[in-house]
Each structure stands twice: as structure tokens, then as C-alpha cells.
Amino acid sequence: MPPTLIAEATTAQFKSTLGHILVVEDEDLIRETIALALTEEGYDVTAASNGRQALDLLQASLGKPSSAAPRVVIDLIILDLMLPYVNGLDLCRLMRREGNSIPILILSAKGSETDRVVGLEVGADDYLTKPFGMRELVARCRALLRRHQQFQTAPKSLTLQYQGITLYPEECRVTVRGDLVSFSPKEFKLLELFMTHPKRVWSRDQLLERIWGPDFIGESKTVDVHIRWLREKLERDPSNPEYLVTVRGFGYRFG
Ligand code: CA
């Protein structure tokens, strides 16, 4: 039986400043259990039971007029992969393509490495395989929100800071443990991208697309070379990096 076209959006009327989480899951029991667990932790929760409804809520969250959904500002999305109408991966892809950087935690029954890679490739920030414990889910949400909010509340147009490294986006200037270090434009853009998404794993292809642009014709080795140059400028010991970490099988991560 097909699901209802637009299911009712349920918004828990819970006043908090911890954050507003959108739970997108078509299995009622899982969705409700997650919503309850998060509400008990003090989060505001909105639930959606299919991809189209989630998209409507997200459009509304960004203040886009086309949507009939209520306007709630979403801070984090918990996203199932297998969903009616618009699946989780497509939803992720759509959001990132529109430049929406809300953190996304993917839930999936699939746990193979390929699925993980695909999830991270399309721009998810974290991945949890079903079945999972609610405490782990809550802990991951808390970590993702903290990371994102820390960043949001930092005066980001002025400086990006991480353990001794300070990047001044408007002045194209970087200091490393107090010393001014010069970076090429590509290195600077790379570092800025990494620092605006701490802990996020980027694949070489994603980095090529974001920094070199979709029309770039070249090899992903280009990325490795730039990472090496960045490491030489940032790391105390470039052969044993603390900042720009290689995530085997995925790509690179900052922090
Ligand atoms: Ca599902």
C-alpha cells in the first residue's frame, strides 16, 4: 500500500536551546522511539515519514516560499536511507548541492563499507548502522551538534581557529602556532574548506570538485600533493599528521 502523500508533521512542543532535530524515517516504531529519546534529552524534534515531506520541511527551514510545511529551523537531520518518494542518499545530495550544510547523520540497515563510503560521499557527516542503541544515537547527535554549533557561534567571517592554527578568511592570512605562514590560493581554499568542516571526511573527488571545480581535468593525485604541501606548513611532524589526517579508504579529515 502506498504511504499517504504528505504525512502529518509532528513537532514536539518542547522549549529548549539544545537544537532542533529532524528525524526522517518511514518505520513508525523506529521514528517514534528516536523522537522520544531525543525529546527526553531536551532536543526539539520534528519527524517526517518520507523523503518528500522531509524536503518540504527543509525548504521551509531555509525560508523557501514554495513549501506548505511549518517553518522550523533545523539544526541536525537523522536520515534513514530507504525512504518512500525521495531516498536518503538523493535527499543528502540535493541538500549539499543547494549549499545546505546542516549536519546529517545517516541511519541504515546496510552496513557494508561501500554504503558507508557512498553515504559520506554524498555529504553525510556521520553514519549509524541499524540496529543501534539510543544512547549511541543521542551521543552522536550531541557530538555533531556541538561541532556544528561551535563553529556557527565562532565569529567565522573574522577567523577560523583550531589548536594553534588561525585562518583569517577575509585577509587570506594564516598563522600557525603564532607564525605567519604563506599559502598558495589553492592551499588556502583547501585549508579553509577543512577548517569550516572540522572532523568531516572528504574524498579526493569531493575536494577536487570543491576546490578545483567540476571542469577540472586532472588526477586525484593533485589532491594528495596539495595535502602534502599543507602538512609541511601545518604539522609539527608532517609524516605523522595531527591536523590533516588520512582516513584510509575514504580520504582526508581535518582535526
Ligand atoms: Ca526505511
pLDDT digits (tens, 9 = 90+) for 91-104: 998 888 877 788 99
Write out the residues surrounding ion ligand 1, Cβ under 5 A. 26, 80, 82
Same domain, yes or no: 163 and 248: yes
CATH (domain of 167): 1.10.10.10
CATH number at residue 39: 3.40.50.2300
Which residue range(s) make up the domain with 38?
A: 11-152
Q: Are residues 142 and 166 in the same domain?
A: no
Q: Is the pLDDT of residue 173 over 60?
A: yes
Taking the centre of ligand 1 as the mean of its atom positions, its distance from the CA of residue 58, in whole angstroms, is 19
36-71 pLDDT, tens digit per residue, is: 999 999 899 999 999 999 998 888 877 766 666 677
What cell was used for 111?
Answer: 552496513
Residues 70 and 81 in one domain: yes
Establish how many alpha carbons lie within 13 A of residue 126's alpha carbon, considering only the half-sphere containing its beta carbon: 21
Residue 125 has pLDDT above 50, yes or no: yes
Same domain, 87 and 183: no
The candidate with the shortest Cα–Cα distance to 160, out of 141, 126, 179, 188, is: 188
Q: Residue 76, class by beta-carbon neighbours within 10 Å (0-12 exposed, 13-18 middle, 19+ buried)? A: buried
Verify that 18 and 111 share a domain, yes or no.
yes
**CA 191–ligand 1 middle distance (angstroms):** 36
Residues 6+ apart with CB under 8 A from 252: 194, 201, 202, 204, 207, 223, 227, 244, 245, 246
- Give me ligand 1 centre to Cα 88, in Å: 9
Domains in the chain, number = 2
Beta bridge partners of 24: 48, 79
Same domain for 139 and 167: no
- Nearest to 183, CA basis, from 218, 217, 231, 222: 231
CA 26 / ligand 1 centre spacing (Å):
5
143 Cα: distance to centroid of ligand 1 (angstroms) = 24
> CA-to-CA distance for 133 and 120, rounded, in angstroms?
21
Whether residue 207 sits in one domain with residue 135: no
Q: Tell whether 112 and 55 lie within a shared domain.
A: yes
In a shared domain, residues 147 and 213: no
pLDDT at 144 over 80: yes
Query: How far does the centroid of ligand 1 lie from the alpha carbon of residue 81, in Å?
Result: 6
Task: Kindly report whether the global pTM for this prediction surpasses the value 0.75.
Answer: no
Residues 29 and 146 grouped into a single domain: yes
